[in-house]
Amino acid sequence: MKFVRDPDIAIKIDQMKRRVCWQESLISDKAIAQTKLVIDDADTDNPNFSFLVIGDSGCGSHLKYHPQRQIAEMMLQEEARFVLHMGDVVYHVGSKEYYQQNFIAPYREFLVGGEKFKQLAYNRLTFKTPFFLVPGNHDYYDLPLIYGILAQATWLPRRLLRGKIDLDVGWHGSGQGDAYARAFLDYLAELNLGNLNQHLDTHYTAQHTGDRCLRYQPGKFTRFPNRYYTFCYGGIDFFALDSNTFNDPLAIPDTQEGAERRKQLLARQSQFIEKEQEIQAAIDRLNPYDSDDAEQIDDYYAKLEHIAESQRDIEKQLNQQQQMTDWEQLDWFKTSLVTSWQDENIRGRVVFFHHPPYVTEATKWNQGQTLAVRDRLRQVFNDAAAEIGALPEGRSIVDLVLSGHAHCLEHLQTKDTGHADAHIDWIVCGGSGHSLRRQREEGTVLYQDADFNQPIGQSRLFVGRSGDRRNHKRPYSYLRIDVQAGKKPKFTVNPLVAEWSEHQWHEYAIDPFVV
């Protein structure tokens, strides 16, 4: 039996639509756009502003230290208008039981009532500082009942042997993303007709590009209208996407090349099984009460998680009969992108979602899901570019793409890819709390195919795990991005790091760069 289940894309789409009463008659009759929101902030027209970026944060403490809380405390020192979160809000299976420990407690100062954070319910959260989130893969995972029972049966020994077998798992999984939806989306499904009508007339009073839409009110009402949405700040359009519904790997073709690909995947699967057995044996030889051994155990569990995730990716590729793609979302994104370019008041565009299309982190760079997201996003950019026509000199179709999923901080730039995703800056911000990963051994240049034929991208900065055993360095990270006025906006990216090494924290900033 698999430890976790990832629901089919069709299930994710249908369930999320049901929760927000997607385009139901009352909403349609009121001409409400369920993919737009307006921030109730007197400074939204200021072209000079800053925002923070975090991702893959949703873990509890790691043995003797708590990286997510350390990053949150650093964030509190920043002057920023809002926070973007790249997903994986709660590990390991998006369980409602772990929102208190893995989200509410670390970010309590950002929440209304945070001074009594233990009394806050995960489905009644209101942000003082705006948090804009997208779901990660862990926010959709489900947990088979037998594992929930085992998790509870082993609760006491897991507490006594903290770090050796603690799994951040309760009775439940995410309920196919239900916990995430109840925590952050405007969950309309449980309102009767009269209450729904009143709710819409209370909270959907804003206007954005001619449409009636949700008014996001910091300190009062901070829900999102949908799992994907858009908002504008300082003349910059921000597009939040749910990449969990367009990351299905391409089906392996029934050709000689496809047969070779299957052979390679089966070989990798066998290697992973052997490696998993070796790691389990190594864990058994370590002492969880020794601080150095305990950190090594933590590293081993990160490797086991990588193996499990890689196994799921391989199984998806081997069993894929027909790729499922959320074209409704992608068509919306294309149309919204075209509309953004047609609006003379919009001077820039930022896209953020969970799965990175370009990355050199060792565990993600060649996954089927990574390549699928790249392919789907590239197609959207191509279609939008065809409708927009010639772009101003020196401009790309979007200014910046932000993602997470890979547990690192990385800045990449695409070269001439032959598509509309060329000459774009891509930043992966997935190192804000969970176990960090290393950069791949294959180098910093990305190529069009596995034969290393055509260089299409280059990694400019990589911040991830380094060192061995007692010399391990774990640089957890977040970003502050400063936006400046101008028809072509300048984004100054400031990487901030809290590094755990030699059993203590070291905080520092990496030289900023402009995109």
pLDDT in tens, 195-238: 999 999 999 999 998 999 999 999 999 999 999 999 999 999 99
451 pLDDT band (50/70/90 cuts)? low
C-alpha radius of gyration, the chain, whole number? 22
Third-level CATH fold of 9-249+325-514 = Purple Acid Phosphatase; chain A, domain 2 (3.60.21)
The pTM assigned to this predicted structure is 0.92
Taking the CA atoms of residue 100, residue 106, residue 109 and residue 113 in that order, the dihedral angle to the nearest 10 degrees is 10
pLDDT reading at 496 higher than 90: yes
C-alpha closest to that of 64 among 169, 163, 159, 155: 163
The per-residue pLDDT for 94 is: 94
C-alpha closest to that of 465 among 62, 163, 107, 90: 62
pLDDT reading at 170 higher than 90: no
Dump pLDDT digits (tens) for 60-76.
766 568 999 999 999 99
First to last CA, the chain: 46
Q: Helix, strand, or coil here: 403?
A: strand
Question: DSSP letters along 311-352, please?
Answer: HHHHHHHHH-SS----HHHHHHHHHHHHHHHH-TT--EEEEE
pLDDT > 70: percent of the chain: 92
Instruction: Select, from the ranges 172-176, 213-217, 293-297, 365-369, the one with the highest average predicted confidence (pLDDT).
Output: 213-217
The per-residue pLDDT for 483 is: 98
| Element at 67 (helix H, strand E) | helix 67-75
Beta-carbon count within 10 A of 89 CB? 27
The per-residue pLDDT for 147 is: 54
Dump pLDDT digits (tens) for 309-339.
778 778 777 776 667 999 999 999 999 999 9
The per-residue pLDDT for 261 is: 73
Looking at every residue in the chain, the average pLDDT score rounds to: 90
Dump pLDDT digits (tens) for 264-312.
777 777 787 788 888 888 888 888 777 777 777 777 877 787 787 778 7
Integer Cα distance of 444 and 459 in angstroms:
5
The per-residue pLDDT for 283 is: 86
pLDDT reading at 400 higher than 90: yes
Alpha-helix runs per DSSP H in 162-227: 178-184, 193-203
159 pLDDT band (50/70/90 cuts)? very low
Q: Are 463 and 432 in contact (CB under 8 A)?
A: no
Q: Which of 298-302, 343-347, 421-425 has the lowest mean pLDDT?
A: 298-302
Q: Where are the domains of the chain?
A: 9-249+325-514, 256-318
Q: Are 329 and 226 in contact (CB under 8 A)?
A: no
Integer Cα distance of 376 and 373 in angstroms:
5
Q: Are 164 and 297 in contact (CB under 8 A)?
A: yes
Phi, psi for residue 206 in degrees, rounded to 5: -90, 165
Phi, psi for residue 195 in degrees, rounded to 5: -65, -35
pLDDT reading at 153 higher than 60: no
The per-residue pLDDT for 312 is: 78
Q: Provide mean pLDDT across the span 481-506.
A: 95
pLDDT reading at 435 higher than 90: no
Residues linked to residue 428 through DSSP beta bridges, in sequence order: 403, 410
Q: Is the peptide bond before 92 cis (omega within 30 degrees of 0)?
A: yes
The per-residue pLDDT for 1 is: 38
Q: Which residues of 236-262 are buried (b: 16+ CB within 10 A; e: fewer)?
A: bbbbbbbbbbbbbbeebeeeeeeeebe
Q: What sign results for the dihedral spanned by CA atoms 104, 108, 114, 115?
A: positive
Integer Cα distance of 300 and 280 in angstroms:
8
Dump pLDDT digits (tens) for 13-55.
999 999 999 999 999 999 999 999 999 999 999 999 999 999 9
Q: How far is CA 364 from CA 406, 407, 430, in A?
A: 6, 9, 12
Q: How far is CA 213 from CA 37, 39, 114, 180, in A?
A: 6, 11, 28, 21
Count how many residues are written for the chain. 515
The per-residue pLDDT for 163 is: 41
DSSP conformational letter for 188: -
pLDDT reading at 443 higher than 90: yes
